[in-house]
Amino acid sequence: MIEPLPTIAGGQVKVPTDPGLGNSLDPDAVERYRVSDDYRVQTPRHRLTFHTGTAGNRTYGNMLKIREDYRRNRNTPVQPNVLSDDGTAEFDDVWMRAWKTRI
């Protein structure tokens, strides 16, 4: 994607003395690898259910919600159960709700 390729010697790249990095983008390569502005990487979906002792079971759709819950309530989840997306409507329904807030 850049021209010319930097020369690497002894695990180091020589820093140019002129302004910039001394390379330019290959516009054909940029166009070839361009993605749409609304492109999102598809990652596997998992439902994360934890037994929290006295608080019972809690189901989350993402790790951020677990962190928020722990910081707010000081509940440390234990005994994780991770359920991968099986393509069912039931999984989709629970995952969508758990993504927004713990259930």
Question: What are 46-91's pLDDT values in tens digits?
Answer: 888 887 666 678 888 877 777 787 777 766 656 677 888 888 999 8
Show the 3-state SS of 30-68: HHHCCCCCCCCCCCCCEEEEEECHHHCEEEECCHHHHHH
Q: How many helices (H) and strands (E) does the chain have?
A: 3, 7
Domain ranges of the chain: 2-32, 46-100
Question: What are 3-32's pLDDT values in tens digits?
Answer: 677 778 888 887 777 787 777 888 898 899
Beta carbons of 99 and 62 less than 8 angstroms apart: yes
Beta carbons of 80 and 46 less than 8 angstroms apart: no
For residue 48, with 0-12 CB atoms within 10 Å meaning exposed, 13-18 middle and 19 or more buried, which class applies? buried
Amino acid 15: pLDDT: 79
DSSP 99: H
Give the mean pLDDT of the chain. Answer: 80
